[in-house]
Amino acid sequence: GQNIDQPTEMTATEGAIVQINCTYQTSGFNGLFWYQQHAGEAPTFLSYNVLDGLEEKGRFSSFLSRSKGYSYLLLKELQMKDSASYLCVQMDSNYQLIWGAGTKLIIKP
């Protein structure tokens, strides 16, 4: 089957940096998304990677290595409002979305 693996929960301190890792199966790939989802709200798009490398967007950056089936989301200068779930989502060769279960990020003062 096709699996997305990401940690269930992470804790970080306000002002710090955190990296959320995600691995996926490399057979069939059309891109990798990261979403942020606050409790009770719809997911919010953060990034899309289809080529290897680092994409920087403000405090958030996303990295992709297609050969390794690996991505990470890097959050800098953490703020309390960054407490949310972060979803790693793969688009496969049929353009179907394979959703990770999400990483719940807890930010402590």
* Closer to another protein by Cβ: residue 18 or 98: 98
If one asks whether residue 37 binds another protein (CB under 8 A), the answer comes out as yes
Give the 3-state secondary structure of residue 98: strand
User: In the set 42, 67, 80, 93, which binds another protein (CB under 8 A)?
Assistant: 42
Single out the residue of 43, 54, 47 nearest to residue 32, CA to CA: 47
What is the end-to-end Cα distance of the chain in Å, rounded?
Answer: 40
Contact range with another protein by CB under 8 A, out of 14-22, 59-67, 68-76, 93-101: 93-101
Q: How crowded is residue 106: how many other Cβ atoms within 10 Å of its Cβ?
A: 11
The tokens describing 98, both together, are 């394979």
- 51: contact with another protein by CB under 8 A: no
Residues that bind another protein (CB under 8 A): 31, 35, 37, 39-40, 42-45, 48, 50, 85, 94-99, 101-102
